[in-house]
Chains A and B, each alone.
Chain A
């Protein structure tokens, strides 16, 4: 029970059936109307967001107008492909597999990742697994990335990254999202389909996407929904239970990496509550009971939200022109 003056997860509750109907109508209008395409390509990752987008597109256009893509790579979790297949089967959509490992190796993604990790951890080599992590925002310090690696014999090493190795690692790793998007647009053009984007509101607001990668799409049907709300839709759409129970992961590095240790300050349900409250002008002091945190700690999260908006703003910007081209801008 929420105490007087306090708010909790109830502020994120929505009418799932009504929202599904609203989004389905918007998808139909966007794809068949505005975009004038015959269907949708959606990359299915085995995670909750792409599962919900797949089901929504199938609901909006019919399963026969949805083309799913599984694009695992060397570092994908062993569960990824199995869960992705379950998502496609539940939605009744056709999907095909294209392993992007060879493409990533050809552009040097893995080699460059290894070089970046080795520059931070000189022992890093064959058989090691690695990821990057951020300290908790609640510690009050600056959030700078560290490389974490495990040797083949189980020894864990953690080192702060230099700016060169950090930026090099991110750039190499982002080949993954950009390669996936290239494959999605290949199929979209082949079929005369549009490409669906799968970010939820937390990711969209906080810039947790790769420009030209998973940030690229023709429409983004759940970008207005907090992740907790995506889960509410998932339950109503019949998304497989195992997908709904899977902890959010980046599924990007050879060591498993939770979204909260890589990017967000708190687990998603708490981040959702902070973001939603901040957006509605609800003060940090009203969240202390639901989050189990002091007002001061919650204000650190609010500040982190503002910081991420500031540093990732460019990811949302369209290319900047010297002057407007009204013949084009008036029609977009």
Chain B
């Protein structure tokens, strides 16, 4: 394990958050207020939080999809706020992979096109995509016969594994994963997480895994409750 508690050395951090504040447009209260949080390169972090605690919001902020109201989000020593919206989208395409709870694929495109779409935004060549997709499919134990099938014809488990392949197709340094197993039964769930962790280790990707399910936490050496970094308490606020 490469886990080390060297959070305060910002230069070594893949993800670095300082004084981050966020509220949804409108008059609603702050959802997140994180004074300080870092994730080191290659770390595999289990971020635990109840539903409605702002886990998904935090992931969207880390990915640069939502802009922070105040404070700083740095990925790979790049301040996201310093980038234009177009640059941020490009940066996300190249350096960040995302996997959501369910429905990660464009349902009406086939598997190949779903993967190609991701490499299209990162500006990758078709050949490079082809080779990498083959490797990822092999590692994820996915059959190549799935490639020409429409995404919504796959089983949920297959869809989630294709989602990992799609998220990793551009060899991103950071993988943000949001309860990817909630639609899977328990046996599949453990196999899925094992695969995810193995592939991240192989590639040295930094993984942030958010979930409310403590059963899954067993797979991780490093568990961080969201409440320990977020000053806003969501005792009974469910959005």
A and B associate in one complex: no
Q: Which residues of A approach B to under 8 Å, CB–CB?
A: none
